[in-house]
Amino acid sequence: MLTRRAFISSAVIGSSNALLTAKWAFGKSKPFERSLPIPPLIDARSVANKIGLIAAEGRHKFFPNQPTATSGYSGAILGPTLRFHKGDEIAVTVENKLERHTTVHWHGLLIPSISDGGPHNPIAPGTSWRTTLKIDQPESTAWFHPHPHGDTARQVYSGLAGMVLLDDGSSERLGLPRTYGVDDIPLLLQERQFNSNGSLRYDDGPQTTMLGARGDTVIVNGAIAPVARVPVGLVRLRLLNGSNARNYDLSFSDTRAFHVIASDGGYLPSPVRRTRLIISPGERFEVLVDFSDARSVILETGADQFIPMMGMMSGDVSGAAQIIKFEPDPTKVSKVHSIPAKLSTMSDIGRVDGLRRRQFVLNDHMMGMMGMRFRNRGLAINGSPYDINRIDTTVSLGSSEIWEVESGMMAHPFHIHGVQFRILSIDGRRPPMHLQGYKDTVLVLGSAEILVPFTQRATREHPFMYHCHILEHEDAGMMGQYVAT
Ligand SMILES: [Cu+2]
């Protein structure tokens, strides 16, 4: 088990000054023993663009000799990584062998809502769902996960999630690392809590609804404290935060810099040098890390500084942690040693005056409970908790709008289905460079203005969702529905 610094207590959570000094003081080092599991890759073209997934329960070994009950797609936990090529049509069949309804949402894909697995496309236990995904968007890292009405958090927590690599040939053209699992490594980050018998612990109480399910253990591709043997040279990490609620504040133990090359929707115009990177639930970033010095290094996270204070945290959760160790292996030949100066020709945002503006206020529990601002209690958007039978917003297909999103007391990762947007401002200021590319999820603490092009059809029968990607918030009502016709 990962140990945590004992002094991260509810008293310091929320106090950024205390966190800044406390952030780097780790407890005893972790036993990085287990090799990083790499989910099997299915290149859709190698199977005639026909993909079959089976959602089922399984048993996965987080701990030696102590299997844990989990769920996965065609395996005990998580799913295969799927590579889809631009221009192809992928026929997907999902068989539900779970004992509850599920769906499969293609997070980040630009597909019509009828093809997507939102709450309106449930798959009953023992049945199958067929869909066709027409891939027509830039190369990027997306993912898939359940999105059933009211049951998303538990299903993702139990292990249902997988990565999608959209491929348009750019990696080859740009000379980026692209050998899956060798120098192009998927890192699906999640936070879990375990009972002493090794079973996954999920508390049902109001604290979980309020703050989302959190834990004291970070898992990477389903493994605790793994070690990745990487080539001596440049390596690409595809970071996906698949946690229910936890934000990671990533950096390397030797404070080395790395380059962010892509956000949710694809490549940035040019690499952005960083030493820290915050990634919230639902977000993806691709980074290039230079292991040419052949030195081992650990990817770490600071404590989640976006948890509200008020002493609500019980236990030592979402604290600073060491996540994964990288051990460069001189016998692995690295093909890539230089970072391209230019990655994409992303268009300027252009004129935004005259565009329709809408406001979305994310009402969180604390305000609702105190009855300070809204009539209804609990989690909602613009005062209305999610109703599967109510359309909240209607946009015109082909138009662009500016959405102004305002948080409540805590930070919420706001996600919109079926779009890739651009962030115009965060709290009135231009976003940092690595957040200026295409996004489908933005962490909002305060306010954000986003420019959203609606290119995918969503009907009344199959509306798209917009919601907080803290999965317990989504399940409890911080979600709305929009139609694009
Ligand atoms: Cu939220």
CA 215-361-368 angle, to 5 degrees, is 65
**Cβ count within 10 A of residue 171:** 18
The whole-number average pLDDT for the span 15-20 is 36
The whole-number average pLDDT for the span 199-211 is 91
Q: How far is the CA of 316 from the centre of ligand 1 (A)?
A: 21
Q: How far is the CA of 309 from the centre of ligand 1 (A)?
A: 15
Pairwise pLDDT comparison (309 vs 195), residue with the higher score: 195
pLDDT (0 to 100) of residue 289: 98
Q: What is the DSSP letter of 123?
A: B
Q: How far is the CA of 111 from the centre of ligand 1 (A)?
A: 25
Q: How far is the CA of 214 from the centre of ligand 1 (A)?
A: 13
51-99: pLDDT as tens digits = 999 999 999 999 998 999 999 999 999 999 999 999 999 999 999 999 9
91-139: pLDDT as tens digits = 999 999 999 999 999 999 999 999 999 999 999 999 999 999 999 999 9
pLDDT (0 to 100) of residue 306: 87
Q: How far is the CA of 41 from the centre of ligand 1 (A)?
A: 32
Q: How far is the CA of 320 from the centre of ligand 1 (A)?
A: 21
- 9: confidence class by pLDDT, cuts 50, 70, 90: very low
- 24: confidence class by pLDDT, cuts 50, 70, 90: very low
pLDDT at 8 over 90: no
CB 426 within 8 A of CB 446: yes
- Domains defined for the chain, CATH in brackets: 41-168 (2.60.40.420), 175-329 (2.60.40.420), 356-484 (2.60.40.420)
Is this prediction's pTM over 0.85? Answer: yes
Q: Out of 246-255, 335-344, 410-419, which region has the weakest mean confidence (pLDDT)?
A: 335-344
- 347: confidence class by pLDDT, cuts 50, 70, 90: confident
92: Cβ–Cβ under 8 A, 6 or more apart, which residues?
51, 52, 53, 104, 130, 131, 132, 133
pLDDT at 311 over 60: no
pLDDT at 169 over 90: yes
Q: How far is the CA of 427 from the centre of ligand 1 (A)?
A: 18
pLDDT (0 to 100) of residue 316: 77
pLDDT at 4 over 60: no
pLDDT at 327 over 90: yes
The whole-number average pLDDT for the span 140-156 is 98
pLDDT (0 to 100) of residue 473: 96
CB 104 within 8 A of CB 118: no
Q: How far is the CA of 104 from the centre of ligand 1 (A)?
A: 21
Neighbours of ion ligand 1 (CB under 5 A): 412, 468, 470, 473
For residue 61, the cross-strand partners are none
pLDDT (0 to 100) of residue 309: 57
Q: How far is the CA of 328 from the centre of ligand 1 (A)?
A: 38
- Rounded CA-CA distance 143/73 in Å is 13
- Rounded CA-CA distance 385/315 in Å is 29
CA 248-253-255 angle, to 5 degrees, is 90
Q: How far is the CA of 338 from the centre of ligand 1 (A)?
A: 39
364-402: pLDDT as tens digits = 866 445 444 444 458 999 999 999 999 999 999 999 999
456: Cβ–Cβ under 8 A, 6 or more apart, which residues?
110, 111, 112, 113, 397, 418, 419, 464, 484
CB 392 within 8 A of CB 482: yes
How confident is the prediction for the chain on average, in pLDDT? 91
Q: How far is the CA of 372 from the centre of ligand 1 (A)?
A: 18
Taking the alpha carbons of 421, 160, 312, 480 in that order, is the dihedral positive or negative? positive
Q: How far is the CA of 468 from the centre of ligand 1 (A)?
A: 4
Tokens matching residue 80: 């295969």
- Alpha-carbon 353 to chain mean position: 31
- Rounded CA-CA distance 390/371 in Å is 24
Q: How far is the CA of 119 from the centre of ligand 1 (A)?
A: 18
pLDDT at 269 over 70: yes
Q: How far is the CA of 278 from the centre of ligand 1 (A)?
A: 16
- Rounded CA-CA distance 204/129 in Å is 30
62-75: pLDDT as tens digits = 999 899 999 999 99
- 313: confidence class by pLDDT, cuts 50, 70, 90: low
pLDDT (0 to 100) of residue 13: 38
Pairwise pLDDT comparison (444 vs 308), residue with the higher score: 444
DSSP string for 313-372: --SS-S--EEEEEEEEETTSPP------S----PPP----TTSEEEEEEEE-HHHHHHTS
pLDDT (0 to 100) of residue 430: 96
pLDDT (0 to 100) of residue 204: 86
Q: How far is the CA of 246 from the centre of ligand 1 (A)?
A: 11
The DSSP bridge pattern shows strands 128-134 and 89-96 to be antiparallel
CB 132 within 8 A of CB 116: no
